[in-house]
Amino acid sequence: MKRKFLPVLLLSLAITGTSMAQSGYKEDSVFIRKIFHTALSDGKSYEMLRRLTQEVGPRLSGSAGAVKAVTLTSEIMKAEKFDQVFLQNVMVPHWVRGAKEEGAIFNGKQKTVVPLVALGGSVATPKTGIKAQVIEVKSFQELRDLGTSVVKGKIVFFNRPMDPTKLNTFDAYAGAVEQRGSGPSEAAKMGAIGCIVRSMTTRLDDVPHTGSMRYASGAPMIPAAGISTNAAELLSKTLKTNPATEFYFKQSCEILPDAPSHNVIGELKGAKSPEQYMVVGGHLDSWDIADGAHDDGTGCVQSIEAVRLLKVLGYKPNNTLRAVMFMNEENGLKGGIAYADSAKSKKEKHIAAIESDRGGFTPLGFGIVGTPAQKQKIKSWQPLFSPYGVHELGVGGGGADIGPLGQQGTVLMGLIPDSQRYFDYHHATNDTFDKVSRRELELGAASMAAMLYLLDKYGVE
């Protein structure tokens, strides 16, 4: 079997009726082929990712790893001779995990140690930990229906799994993640003294996942942790035979004063409209327990690579192109907000921004947030992407870090890769370099470069 490039004739036929001249599309299809070939044969994204995940590793906002990551990505872009590489100051939350956590199920005198990690932003337990009976619920409503008399003094256990029947795993995540984000405060409002949450993954394994948790104002700040899905299954089963089962956990996390940090920006100056900007970006911070390969090392190196590919292929941009490593997506979004604030105050007109923050998997499409006319224009480029498996333009949105730019009229786009494996590794210790396929990563970078090229060449109006 063969899967060849669409013949140019077919491409031309397919775009009949668009506003672009056929000759332009022929030229574009040739240039985009060069982008993909270069990414796959002489790409640098994989080696950049190796350095970011293995030389730096975990890089939560405020940590020494985050400082190293700023230096490394800055140096990489300088070595690639981007026209300008600079840092943008941003104050970020600084939460630290402290000593490794402990977690255990006590079924009478039988103790079973389980994999557990504090949720990001959680307070510590008392030094000796907490141990209490467990109330298992699958929703906030179920919790409220139990009433404070039942919940008071207990540990609330949220155990609603991600729905495996959702084809796109981000939909399944969206349907379950409130338990992690808001569950601890919901539990506290009902009198709970601690909260544990089933990890956000469709896998059944022993890997606990962390992630951000926000205390609601007015509710007591109780310690909160994630337990592995196997541990959640075991605890649930144990509770069915012994409702008096107790859970124990101990963690020593702290919220420190906000820390100075940076967004890292590399740019190629625009030849015609240097005062207009196009952004490709990912977030540089990761959770502290993870090397942050898919979340979001891949997005960072793909962004650098997208700009680098256009540069090495001799493309002279009309607008100024920027690769942006946003700081603090995981627990504050301060980098994305600071970037948009800076753009506004400096009157930097941002035409479009593309984010990659869904893992370095085979690219299938791009999400678009813009006016119907803008979406239609971008979707008309579909025939240029189809030869590369990128078959769905316009399904999905942009990304968290570029979100704040939306208020300035910027078209927001998100790279949409295959979602099946993302939550196997998300926010967990197994989000490591070896989980990334070189070719999948490179195809994503090439897709972003191709989209950046078209946005720059044709604009969005």
**Residues designated as active site:** 329
- Considering the complex, state which of residue 156 and residue 364 has its C-beta at the smaller distance from a copy of itself: 364
Q: Which two tokens stand for residue 273?
A: 């409209």
d(CA 137, CA 333) in angstroms, rounded, equals 30
Report the length, in residues, of the chain: 461
Greatest Cα pair distance, the chain, in angstroms, is 77
d(CA 328, CA 333) in angstroms, rounded, equals 5
Peptide bond into 83 cis (omega under 30): no
Asked if 49 interacts with a copy of itself (CB under 8 A), we say no
- Min CB(282)–a copy of itself separation in Å: 17
- Min CB(366)–a copy of itself separation in Å: 11
Residue selected from 23, 41, 217, 345 as contacting a copy of itself according to rule CB under 8 A: 41
Asked if 391 interacts with a copy of itself (CB under 8 A), we say yes
Q: Which two tokens stand for residue 130?
A: 């907490």
Q: Do residues 246 and 130 make contact, with C-beta atoms less than 8 angstroms apart?
A: no
- Min CB(218)–a copy of itself separation in Å: 32
Q: Which two tokens stand for residue 320?
A: 């100024």
Residue selected from 190, 290, 416, 450 as contacting a copy of itself according to rule CB under 8 A: 416
- Considering the complex, state which of residue 316 and residue 439 has its C-beta at the smaller distance from a copy of itself: 439
- Considering the complex, state which of residue 68 and residue 379 has its C-beta at the smaller distance from a copy of itself: 379
Binding window for a copy of itself (CB under 8 A); candidates: 15-23, 75-83, 91-99, 415-423: 415-423
- Min CB(314)–a copy of itself separation in Å: 18
Asked if 17 interacts with a copy of itself (CB under 8 A), we say no
- Considering the complex, state which of residue 63 and residue 202 has its C-beta at the smaller distance from a copy of itself: 202
Residues 128 to 187 in contact with a copy of itself, rule: CB under 8 A: 164-165, 167-171
d(CA 226, CA 362) in angstroms, rounded, equals 29
Q: Which two tokens stand for residue 89?
A: 């100051």
- Min CB(311)–a copy of itself separation in Å: 19
Q: Give the per-residue contact string, 423-452, with a copy of itself (x = CB under 8 A; - = no).
A: -x------------xxxx--x---------
CA neighbor of 338 nearest in space, from 280, 401, 286, 255? 401
d(CA 268, CA 73) in angstroms, rounded, equals 16
- With H, G, I as helix, E, B as strand and everything else as coil, classify residue 454: helix
Residue 123's CB: how many other CB atoms inside 10 A? 18
Q: Is 392 exposed, middle or buried (0-12, 13-18, 19+ CB in 10 A)?
A: middle
Q: Give the per-residue contact string, 311-350, with a copy of itself (x = CB under 8 A; - = no).
A: ----------------------------------------
Full DSSP string of 71-98: HHHHHHHHHTT-SEEEEEEEEEEEEE--
- Min CB(148)–a copy of itself separation in Å: 34
Q: What does the binding site for a copy of itself look like in residue numbers (CB under 8 A)?
A: 1-4, 36-37, 40-41, 164-165, 167-171, 202-203, 362, 364, 367, 387-389, 391-392, 395-397, 414, 416, 418, 420-421, 424, 437-440, 443
